[in-house]
Structure 1
Amino acid sequence: MSTPTILAVDDEAFFRFLLERHLTEAGFSPLSAADGVQALSILEQHQVDLVLSDLVMPEMDGLKLIEAMRKRHPGVPIIVVTAHGSVESAVEAMRRGAYDYLEKPYNPEDLRMTIQRALDYHHMVRENEQIKGLLTERFTFQSIVTENPQMKQMLELASRVAAARKTTVALYGESGSGKEVLARAIHFAGKGLPADFVAVNCAAIPEHLMESELFGHVRGAFTGADRDREGKFSLARNGTILLDEIGDMPLSLQAKLLRVLQERVFERIGSNSPVPLNCRVIVATNKSLAELVAAGRFREDLYHRVNVFPLSIPPLCERKEDIPLLCEHILAQLRQHLGKQLPGISPKAMEAMLNYRWPGNVRELRNCLERAAILTDGGPIPLPHLGIGAASSEATPAAEAPGLVSYRLSLAPEELSLDALTTLILTQTLERCGGNKSKAAQLLKVNRKAFYRS
């Protein structure tokens, strides 16, 4: 790492000399200025990591220098070092943006430690800003590439609801279609910070732990609760909580979630103190909540509470025009990640991708391309590297009309029966729809529960 450059600003020549000596002994590279005006000129000409400034100076005093730096050099921390110290001047300097405050005469070791703390703090702030910038760039509506009219309309609606932080959003879509990516885009469009987005997979948490996971608990609330614990709703304060796979949430907890969304408060287990709900709530599911309500597996009142602003992400098989765009978008990321040129995809490989039904949606497409990119040594990605050759031969024909489905009869004559044919039709239709029961039921115009009975 390069030696940090510290600018010492003081109207007394002897004190500037003393500061420069102490800075050199502490391992820093010193510069000096006699007043604020000269300091701003040096800041324009040199890369300065931190400024040490007196308060009382001619031309431009320390407080005015702080204000000017906040406008012109906001990334450079400033520490006030002055013999004219008082509680009032310290408070005013900190209020205007100074990192810290030292009085003359100072201890050289205290000065060194204060400078190092300031440098470390601002380095961490810069790193966080870079991370936030990278995440914000990745999870924006602009980063979701599409030419599909239905997808564009959905993104337009999502951008509108992003500003309404108290409105509950319901995301519907098959597994791998990008529900969490869309949720993060809504979060960042609403000026959310990366750390304030909390995702909870309701299908992955055991039922007896879910309430504590969501709302937290206090010490002694139950056996094993040896300390207070914040829940996901607390961690998402001022941000966004995504309740993924909400259709798998137990009915007992659905009632508690309903109250939280209605009252905008929650309580940690073992506590009677209400905690305000101060976050955006987004729910996501790959199931039809309306069908779950009809089957008695999801509360109707909760359904109406979470379905305030529904957004449906069409599966990849219904927006084939997006596949070339998505391929180039993903390959651009892989070029940077793998350090390869990856000129593109061969015509045969692209034809196979356009004919493949992509049951895993965009997630499967990304994984497929990453594997192919690793295997490819140069030139366009060939069909064998994609690993979808066998699957693509069973893809649903693009021009096939709904309801006009052909079936492979795999039953011997003696096995033919109404029940056997029904099971065969249900099974092969489900295969064609990539395991999506709702889509298969819609295609056959039957109740989704038929696939559980077969």
Structure 2
Amino acid sequence: MRPGKPIILVVDDERMFRSILETALKNSGFSPVTASGAQDALDALDALPVDLVISDMMMPGIGGMELLGMVKAKRPEIPFIILTAHGSIEGAVEAIRNGAFDYITKPINEEDLALTIKRALDYSMLSSENEQLRSRFSEKFGFGSIVYRSAAMNRIVFRAKQVAASPDTTVAIYGESGVGKEVIANAIHYSGSRMSGRFVTVNCVAIPETLIESELFGHVRGAFSGAHQERKGRFAAADGGTIFLDEIGDLPVTAQAKLLRVIETQSFERVGSNETERVDCRIVTATNRNLETLVGEGKFREDLFHRINIFPIHIPALRDREGDVPLLAEYFLDHFRQHLGRKAPGISKAAMDMMLLHTWPGNVRELRNCMEHAVISADDQLIRPEHLGIGQEPRKNVRRHGMIEYNLSFPAGELSLDAIVDKALQTTLQRCGGNKSKAAEMLKVNRKMFYRGKE
């Protein structure tokens, strides 16, 4: 709604009643415009920035109910109030079902009229603000925010758009660490009808096994030692929206059974409670692991796998997305120019050639980190290969001629077996782009090794 007095369009075939309404509206601080019938009203809508329409129900020719449909087709955001006599309340209620904000009975009470209009205008303004907010979120997190050029990613975005239009369908997103699984999950949420609800993220591997059920479903006071008050879980927080279960392959088997029940019945119980709670949310899962292999190993429930794998999306690694590296590099360059306050005039051909040769084991996340490092290191100069921090021979920095090389160096006096192990873990994790599962597989150790000294 614009600054100044709200413009109220009054539609009534009786001249005297239009005059009475016009005076009442002026007395209440509004700017009234009158029309004697539907066509005059539609012409006024085309010519003026009308904020609200008040129309009589019964008029010759096109009546108030039909006019309501015409106004909603032309300007759906405008509140519509029906005027009706005491004997035709049924028709007014029907008008509300068809989109009218409210109805007012004749004879008019000036105070009631002003209050009803104010409520309608407040509701309209709030709806407009919510729509603008939804639009901003959609712009920031929707499909338009995804940077790509490759045919491979074009297919992924097409599939994701398809499922975004089905708000109840469970989605399973697969891909290596850093490919952008959460970006796709966000886009699905903020491009669908659930975008007004929350997008709740749960990192299944980051939550201790003893607390996972409480985290997902909540608990009541006294449910376990330390539960001093009731707590809502992530599913309750996601009601009406989307819950994103990242690293679903690491979810403990005990919690998998509870998750299966939520998917099947849309209900759960908090830890320590027998009261069943209903939940309505879309479930999106993500993993960098092969769930079918985990099923075969008895580490993931087969019935749960089939429940979450209804609409699988497999995001390709960055090395398989031809044309995306230069586009993403320029995108991140512009991003860090703004956020770091650097000039960063551009990327040299030699630096770009090096990036095109690099295998990007950490995928888009690694490229983003690379560009942040480069913008800082270049110190407002053209970005050259030495600023990238990815090595002179990127394709050989992990494997060469079937061999794996580690160059470990330590300050004098700090050499020890523990130091060597820590350095090997750190180096391998870095080479795997922060993917602990991949690094653990390379070193043939349990991924818990990467939490040494953090417990």
The TM-score, its normalising length taken from structure 1, stands at 0.76
Using the TM superposition, give the Cα deviation of residue 48 of structure 1 relative to its aligned residue in structure 2, in angstroms: 0.5
Aligned length: 442
Deviation string for 1:316-375 (max 9, x for gaps)?
Answer: 455473122124445677899999998754546545654667676434655776798899
The residue that corresponds to 2:81 in the other structure is 79
Distance 2:296 2:392 in 1: 33
Distance 1:338 1:420 in 2: 34
Using the TM superposition, give the Cα deviation of residue 50 of structure 1 relative to its aligned residue in structure 2, in angstroms: 0.6
Match of 2:287 among 263, 268, 285: 285
Q: 1:360 to 1:21 in 2, by over 3 A?
A: farther
The residue that corresponds to 1:46 in the other structure is 48
Aligned ranges 1:262-273 → 2 under 5 Å: 262-269=264-271, 271-272=273-274
Using the TM superposition, give the Cα deviation of residue 88 of structure 1 relative to its aligned residue in structure 2, in angstroms: 0.8
The residue that corresponds to 1:434 in the other structure is 433
Deviation string for 1:170-225 (max 9, x for gaps)?
Answer: 32345543211111233456543342533333355566654344334578877644
Using the TM superposition, give the Cα deviation of residue 15 of structure 1 relative to its aligned residue in structure 2, in angstroms: 2.6
Q: Does structure 1 conserve the Cα–Cα contact (< 8 Å) formed by 2:370 and 2:389?
A: no
Cα RMSD of the aligned pairs, angstroms, is 4.8
Distance 2:420 2:268 in 1: 52
Q: 1:306 to 1:395 in 2, by over 3 A?
A: farther
The DSSP-based 3-state class of the residue aligned with 1:177 is: coil
Higher deviation after alignment, 392-401 or 126-135: 392-401
Q: Identity over the aligned pairs, expressed in percent?
A: 48
The DSSP-based 3-state class of the residue aligned with 2:147 is: coil
The residue that corresponds to 1:383 in the other structure is 383
Deviation string for 1:232-289 (max 9, x for gaps)?
Answer: 3345445432112334544442332233335554234455454556433222235565
The DSSP-based 3-state class of the residue aligned with 2:395 is: coil
Correspondence 1:304 to 2:305: yes
Using the TM superposition, give the Cα deviation of residue 69 of structure 1 relative to its aligned residue in structure 2, in angstroms: 0.8
Distance 1:311 1:262 in 2: 21
Letter in 1 for 2:389: A
Distance 2:215 2:448 in 1: 33
The residue that corresponds to 1:396 in the other structure is 394
Q: Does structure 2 conserve the Cα–Cα contact (< 8 Å) formed by 1:356 and 1:391?
A: no
Distance 1:35 1:340 in 2: 62
Letter in 2 for 1:304: F
Letter in 1 for 2:432: C
Letter in 2 for 1:172: Y
Using the TM superposition, give the Cα deviation of residue 31 of structure 1 relative to its aligned residue in structure 2, in angstroms: 1.1
The residue that corresponds to 2:102 in the other structure is 100
The DSSP-based 3-state class of the residue aligned with 1:6 is: strand
Deviation string for 1:10-47 (max 9, x for gaps)?
Answer: 22323322322332232222211112221111111111
The TM-score, its normalising length taken from structure 2, stands at 0.76
Using the TM superposition, give the Cα deviation of residue 128 of structure 1 relative to its aligned residue in structure 2, in angstroms: 2.1
Structure 2 stretches of 5 or more lacking a match? 411-416
Q: Does structure 2 conserve the Cα–Cα contact (< 8 Å) formed by 1:199 and 1:242?
A: yes
Q: Does structure 1 conserve the Cα–Cα contact (< 8 Å) formed by 2:256 and 2:304?
A: no
Distance 2:143 2:325 in 1: 17
Q: 1:152 to 1:448 in 2, by over 3 A?
A: farther
The DSSP-based 3-state class of the residue aligned with 1:109 is: helix
Aligned ranges 1:194-205 → 2 under 5 Å: 194-195=196-197, 197-203=199-205
Match of 1:449 among 433, 440, 446: 446
**Deviant stretches of 4+, over 6 Å:** 218-222, 290-296, 331-343, 370-377, 398-402, 418-427
Distance 2:109 2:372 in 1: 57
The residue that corresponds to 2:118 in the other structure is 116
